[in-house]
Structure 1
Amino acid sequence: MSVRGIRGAITVDHNEEKDILDATSEMLEAIVADNRIDPEDICSVMITVTTDLDATFPARAIRGLQGWDLVPLMCAVEVPVKGSLERCIRLMVTVNTELTQKEIKHVYLRGARVLRPDLSVTKAP
């Protein structure tokens, strides 16, 4: 088994608590499903948001999920680079897995697909 990082990103339309929590849950659920992850195998989750998202901590969406209450979570703010994607939430999930680097499925949803179209394997809605 190896420790691997799984990336994800998603955008929201509004800086509202519900939008941020729903988007974070949607992204995490896709990462978990696409990579067959059990919460027991998670080492940690780093969550970043762009500076225009401050209505809530996105970690709240994860903290309430069954089996995720002991997973170390951290929220941070992205570096505010001019011209970067707005209203974006990113995840970095570190996980113990049998998957190889090539087998890892990174998840980019909604407007965040433009960030890494080469890695995104999740189908468009």
Structure 2
Amino acid sequence: MLRGVRGAITIEENTEALIVEATKRMMDELISLNGIEADKVASVFISVTEEIDAAFPAKALRLLEGWTYVPVMCMREIPVVGSLKNCIRVMVHVNTEKKQEEIHHVYLEKAIVLRPDLKA
């Protein structure tokens, strides 16, 4: 079964180091909480809000052991008025036998406001 695993994190400044560090932190937690193995991942979508442009967050996934061949795509989040700024979001498409309610979504830093009902 293909399942979507969601995550989001915010950064304080638009720098390459913070973008990569935050994305890696979010992914490390997603992987750990859900027991995700790279060879079970079909693809990863990463979106950023419009003020984030110092680096591709996908760069962080290349730092993860075994993730070299996982297809990753970065895109811009739609700029909805009043929405959370400086936010990096991820959707990991993983093959798993887990039920929907067994998936642990990860919302860190100010991104907790996006889905307080799904806090890890």
- TM-score, normalized by length of structure 1? 0.94
Would you say 1:12 and 2:11 are equivalent positions?
yes
User: How many residues are treated as equivalent by the alignment?
Assistant: 120
Partner Cα separation in structure 1 for residue 95 and residue 113 of structure 2: 28
Query: Partner of 2:99 in structure 1?
Result: 100
Name which of structure 1's ranges 58-67 and 5-14 shifts more when overlaid on structure 2.
58-67
Query: Partner of 2:53 in structure 1?
Result: 54
Query: Partner of 1:44 in structure 2?
Result: 43
Partner Cα separation in structure 2 for residue 66 and residue 74 of structure 1: 18
Query: Partner of 1:74 in structure 2?
Result: 73
| 1:83-122 Cα shifts (integer Å, max 9, x gaps) | 100000000000001110000000000000000001122x
% identical aligned pairs:
52
> What is the CA-CA distance between 1:64 and the residue it aligns to?
2.9
Partner Cα separation in structure 2 for residue 34 and residue 27 of structure 1: 11
Partner Cα separation in structure 2 for residue 36 and residue 63 of structure 1: 18
- 2:29 corresponds to which letter in structure 1? A
- 1:101 corresponds to which letter in structure 2? Q
For the aligned residues, what is the CA RMSD?
A: 0.6
- TM-score, normalized by length of structure 2? 0.98
Partner Cα separation in structure 1 for residue 98 and residue 64 of structure 2: 24
> What is the CA-CA distance between 1:51 and the residue it aligns to?
0.2
| 1:35-64 Cα shifts (integer Å, max 9, x gaps) | 011111111000000000000000011023
| 1:7-57 Cα shifts (integer Å, max 9, x gaps) | 000000000000000000000000000001111111100000000000000
- 2:111 corresponds to which letter in structure 1? A
- Residue segments in structure 2 that go unaligned for 5+ positions in a row: none
